[in-house]
Structure formats: C-alpha cells, structure tokens
Structure 1
Amino acid sequence: MCESTVYSIDGTKIMEDVLNIKINGNNIELMDILNTKKDINGTIVEIDLDKHGIYIDLK
C-alpha cells in the first residue's frame, strides 16, 4: 500500500496512514485512509519514500 506516516522534525507522530496531502502556503491538509482530515501549519522538510515517512517543521 502507499500510505505514509507524518512526523514533526523532532520525531513526534502527527498522523498515520496518510494517503493525500494538500499544501496551501504554510497550511498542510492531511487525509488518511478513513477520510479523516487534519490541518496543520508548517513546512514539509523531508519525504522518505522508502520508509513512507513525511517530516514537517511545525510553525
């Protein structure tokens, strides 16, 4: 499957099983496999496709 886990840059898990990410400036909208939505403010600093990890610097 293609889900990813989103973490803050300090390693804190923000959301699991993320399938969709929309970026609008500093607002990042995350959507998981159950269509649960979470909005956070920050900047994506790393995407690790091998480990399915996305790292965000929270603002």
Structure 2
Amino acid sequence: MCESTVYSTENSMIMEDVLNIKIDGNKIYLTDILGMKKELSGVIVEIDLDKHGIYIKLN
C-alpha cells in the first residue's frame, strides 16, 4: 500500500496511514486506512514520496 504519515511543519504527527487527501481552499481533509477522517486548516508545504511523509503548515 501507499499510505503516508501527515506531520505539521513543527514535526508533530497529525495522522498515520493516510490514503486520501482532499484540498478545498485552505481546508485539508484526511482519511486513513480505517476510514477515520480529520479536517485541518492549513497548506501542504512538502510531500516526501520516498519517506511517505506529508508536511502541513497549520493555520
């Protein structure tokens, strides 16, 4: 599988095993492998495909 871990730009983990990310303006919607959802306000600043990490600057 290709799940990723989402971190804040301060390196605190926000969510593990994320399979789906939807962006609507400054809202970011995350869904993990178990169907758990999380809504954030921020901007994705980096996607590291090698380490499966996504970094978000929270508003």
* Both proteins in one fold, TM over 0.5: yes
Map of 1:1-59 to 2, 5 A cutoff? 1-59=1-59
Q: What is the alpha-carbon distance in structure 2 between the residues aligned to residue 21 and residue 3 of structure 1? A: 11
Aligned residues: 59
Q: What is the alpha-carbon distance in structure 1 between the residues aligned to residue 15 and residue 5 of structure 2? A: 6
Runs of 4+ in 1 over 2 A off after TM superposition: none
Displacement of 1:21 in angstroms is: 0.1
**Normalized against structure 1, the TM-score is what?**
0.99
**Normalized against structure 2, the TM-score is what?**
0.99
Please, what is the CA RMSD of the aligned residues?
A: 0.3
Per-residue deviation, residues 3-28 of structure 1 (Å, max 9, x unmatched):
00000001000000000000000000
Identical aligned residues as a percent: 71
- In structure 2, the residue corresponding to 1:40 is in which secondary structure? strand
Per-residue deviation, residues 9-59 of structure 1 (Å, max 9, x unmatched):
010000000000000000000000000000000000000000000000000
- In structure 2, the residue corresponding to 1:19 is in which secondary structure? strand
Structure 2, gaps ≥5 residues long: none
Structure 1, gaps ≥5 residues long: none
